[in-house]
Amino acid sequence: ADYYHHPIGSAYATLLPKLARRGASARATPALTWQPTVEAPPAALARAPAQRRALAMLIEYGGVDDADIAAVGVPRRMLKTLEGRGLVRSVPLEPTYCVAPGGIELTDEQREAVAAIDASRGRAAVHLLHGVTGSGKTEVYMRVIERVLEAGQQALVLVPEIALTPQTTRRFRTRFGAAATLHSGATDRQRFDAWIDCLSGRHRILIGTRSAVLAPFQSLGIIVVDEEHDMSYKQTEGLTYSARDVAVKRGQLLGIPVVLGSATPCLETLENVRRRRYGVARLRQRPGAAGLPRFSVLDVRGLTLREGLAEPLLRRMDRHLAADGQVLVFVNRRGYAPVLVCGECGWQALCEHCDARLTTHRWPGGASGSVQALMICHHCEERYRLPAACPDCGSERLRLVGVGTQRAEDALAERYPGVPLYRIDRDTTRRTDRLAADLDAIRAGGAAILVGTQMLAKGHHLPDVTLVAVVDADAGFLSADFRAPERTAQLIVQVAGRAGRAGRPGEVWIQTLDPDNGNLRALVDSGYEGFVRTERDIRRAVGMPPFGALAVVRAESRDEAGAVRVLEDVSTRMSSFAVQLAGPSPAFPTRRADRYRYQLLALSERRGDLHRALTALTRSPPDAGRARWSIDVDPLGVF
């Protein structure tokens, strides 16, 4: 609460599960694990495809616990139906921890990493496990956790996304016999039960997303933060904590090691390594015959693009697919097209409640084979029908501009009609069983095309991907937000890491209109380390993190002038402190859900000076009237 300048009562409320805040009692009935009783779905389920998929998933996972039902997308009522048919059985979940043999010969780098982390058990230490994608970071985590369990202690493993929880949990349960999960996809009762079980010591391994870092333990021995760079670890509303930073602080308070794992560590973590605050272990090679992919930059200036794809890239895709390789097309924009514009007068479709363009989404209309379309605001989720004509000039020359995942999918389906095609974005994976089924089909091998957003960059093992195509790398590198180039470089490296994992040569093609961009050239020519050197110099020159301490004070109101007035008052109150202030300036989008949003940036060379200014502000707050204002320390961005 002190560090994030948040009300202490609200901070305590964030720490406690909802049922604990209500004074609910501990578990009245035992949690269940649902186990398949057959090795394959029977023919009798041919007319019940949903049940067949659910049973196939249970067989794939070897069973599922109550807490993971939502994460894998299988309704409890369906499990009860399968149980009634004798295809599934439910048994009380009693965690039994054991250590199965690893079965994997560690590389020299992995052995050194395990030894360094293990040597710090029993004292506060932070280790960066900096390993290229596919280098075996998870195996290092598990070897270290073996020692922690043998000492009678508990382990906490954080993952950035709910979608990664089932596959991570499966690996840990295979090795250790049991592991609990904690994430927002579980019910209130399941979260409370997991919370109680960790506090009592009943569960010795907890795998969870951001909020799991706040769970209580009887004897916590280690914290692992996988993909430590991921933006999902930062809470953006209420108590705006960073789960990574809270994990580091918790390790210091408990006197235990914390492991931060990533192929693309954030600049703050790398600066802590440079200043010798953190230790580092590097995994530079992939185990076995797997090699790192080769990068190529495709200058698309002057080239004709087919729904965002240049002909040289399409010809390269032809070669990989003909060799039974899989192609991953990275389009970090969901929907069909991000802009609807009038070709006559230039009118654009905008949200009535936000200062934002509407994204067109399309999907099949049913048995008739027609296509339905709607415009959706990605900020407030309001939906609109597509107009038949321009509302300003009446022209019917309306054009869809830009490429989203749906448009790329349609174009590739037309060019490659016989090739399996999978689109993976937030729209197609609202049910986690769909994502798991698609990933299983992809891992079965054979030529295939994957089209997706950043969801594809996060931890998924896709051994047969041999070509990764980054359709548009320019937006992030040219953004005015100081963190955007770093996020873009991380995404490119992470999605590129899906290629060349099974011993087959992999390559990455990056389409760009700015092939001489300094950040892009550094990334392609010298890897992520080269990008970091370039970006670090830029950040140092302007005093931005990690070379300065940053906070954003935000205000929002239905009255635009009211939001600005609050921040002008804040600026006056902070002006006597050793901080640089910028603003008030509009946030992006300025209006969201009919509320106007403005922000004031506060930057200081010394973190202590920034916190003194913020403390004074919270002790003598502005008169906000009907506006709402908040403080975000260490923000994800400034727009």
Domain boundaries, the chain: 31-92, 108-283, 290-334+403-542, 338-401, 549-633
Res 566: pLDDT: 95
Q: How confident is the model at residue 70 (pLDDT cuts 50, 70, 90)?
A: low
Nearest residue to 79 via CA among 93, 61, 65:
65
What is each CA distance from 400 to 237, 359, 381, 406, 407, in whole angstroms? 33, 9, 19, 13, 10
Average pLDDT value for residue range 57-77: 73
Mean residue pLDDT across the chain: 88
CA pair distance 272, 284, nearest whole angstrom: 20
pLDDT in tens, 404-427: 999 999 999 999 998 999 998 888
Res 226: pLDDT: 95
The fold adopted by the segment(s) 108-283 is Rossmann fold (3.40.50)
Examine the pLDDT at 478 and tell me if it is beyond 90: no
Q: Does domain 290-334+403-542 have CATH number 2.60.40.1190?
A: no
Q: How confident is the model at residue 352 (pLDDT cuts 50, 70, 90)?
A: very high
Q: How confident is the model at residue 613 (pLDDT cuts 50, 70, 90)?
A: very high
Res 428: pLDDT: 78
Q: 549-633 belongs to which homologous superfamily?
A: Ribosomal protein S10 (3.30.70.600)
Positive or negative, the Cα torsion across 433, 54, 185, 223? negative
Res 146: pLDDT: 93
How far, in whole angstroms, is CA 396 from its chain's centroid?
40
pLDDT in tens, 230-275: 999 999 989 999 999 999 999 999 999 999 999 999 999 999 999 9
Is the model more confident about 28 or about 385?
A: 385
Is the model more confident about 382 or about 104?
A: 382
Nearest residue to 265 via CA among 458, 457, 489:
489
pLDDT in tens, 518-573: 999 999 999 999 999 999 999 999 999 999 999 999 999 999 999 999 999 999 99
Examine the pLDDT at 28 and tell me if it is beyond 60: no
Question: Per-residue b/e over 529-539, b at no fewer than 16 CB within 10 Å?
Answer: ebbbebbbeeb
Average pLDDT value for residue range 159-185: 84
CA angle 181, 186, 190 (to 5 degrees): 75
Res 30: pLDDT: 65
Q: Do domains 290-334+403-542 and 549-633 have the same CATH topology?
A: no
Average pLDDT value for residue range 321-340: 92
Return the beta strands (E) in 386-426 as ranges: 398-401, 421-424
Is the model more confident about 250 or about 191?
A: 250
Q: Give this prediction's pTM.
A: 0.85
Examine the pLDDT at 610 and tell me if it is beyond 90: yes
